[in-house]
Structure 1
Amino acid sequence: MTPTRTQPRPPRPVPVRPAVTAAVDAAGPQVWDDMTVEVALAVMAGARTGHLLVCDNDDQRTGLVTHAQLTTVRDSAAYTDRLRLRDLSDGGGRSPRPSL
């Protein structure tokens, strides 16, 4: 048998990860802003993600909530089981619903 020459394969390009904000804006589980904090945490656990994209009744993205935000709210003294995502604020003036 005669050995054959093979062409070396070109190196595979290293996949470039998009910036975190671009990745968050592009994909993720979407929920409505009338969802309660407890249900949102359950959705996050089921989807195995650390954030949810919040939408209004017209399916327009209005914000984003993270697991850390939701657990902080749930563990606070002011938490009730009726607290909805639209009621949240991160203290920096931003909330899932844009200010009008």
Structure 2
Amino acid sequence: MTLGQLQDRAVSARPSHDTVIDVMDAAGPQVWYDMTVEVALSVMAAARAGHLVVCDEDARCVGLVTQARLTAVRDSSEYTDRIRLGDIIDGSEFFVSPLVTREEAEEAVPVGRLELVPVVDNHGSALGVLALSR
């Protein structure tokens, strides 16, 4: 097979629809859900990150927290130094598959949710983060 034949076969008349894996960002720092808010803020500052992916004891992604959310928790009147990330992850977190298109992912996540959504594999491991265009 010549190079010309390879190029001819690679050309497609269909428009390409990028999957989430093609447009996602790196997951960034991953931390355990039993970490305190203060420690999480320190990790975030040291990593110069705007978010943390929160994982359970089996390294499955259970959510994502932003600096704004952690700061709001720390500054609230109910705050104590015993509050852990698992206490502020409410179980209604949304995740997307790396195999869906960006359009499908944006349609699936309700308006008003975080602008960053974890991308997870079939085992719940974080592969990256999708920034929604809202």
TM-score normalised over the length of structure 1: 0.66
Where does structure 2 lack aligned partners over 5 or more consecutive residues?
Answer: 1-21, 94-134
Which residue in 2 is equivalent to 1:71?
71
Paired AA for residue 76 in structure 2? S
Deviations 1:8-57 (A, max 9, x none): xxxxxxxxx93xxx32xx42100000000000000000000000000000
How many angstroms apart in 2 are the aligned matches of 1:89 and 1:35?
Answer: 12
The alignment yields a C-alpha RMSD, in angstroms, of: 2.2
Where does structure 1 lack aligned partners over 5 or more consecutive residues?
Answer: 1-16, 96-100
Determine if contact 2:33/2:86 at 8 Å carries over to the other structure: yes
1:58 has 2:66 as partner: no
Paired AA for residue 54 in structure 2? V
Q: Which secondary structure state, in structure 2, belongs to the residue aligned with residue 83 of structure 1?
A: coil
User: Following TM superposition, by how much is the alpha carbon of 1:62 offset from its aligned partner in structure 2, in angstroms?
Assistant: 1.0
Rg larger for: 1
Q: Which secondary structure state, in structure 2, belongs to the residue aligned with residue 34 of structure 1?
A: coil
How many angstroms apart in 2 are the aligned matches of 1:94 and 1:42?
Answer: 25
Describe the shift of the 1:54–1:67 C-alpha distance in structure 2 as closer, same or farther (beyond 3 A): same
How many angstroms apart in 1 are the aligned matches of 2:92 and 2:74?
Answer: 18
User: Following TM superposition, by how much is the alpha carbon of 1:89 offset from its aligned partner in structure 2, in angstroms?
Assistant: 4.5
Relative CO higher for 1 or 2, CA cutoff 8 Å, sep ≥ 6? Answer: 2
Kindly, what percent of the aligned residue pairs are identical?
65
How many angstroms apart in 2 are the aligned matches of 1:66 and 1:94?
Answer: 16
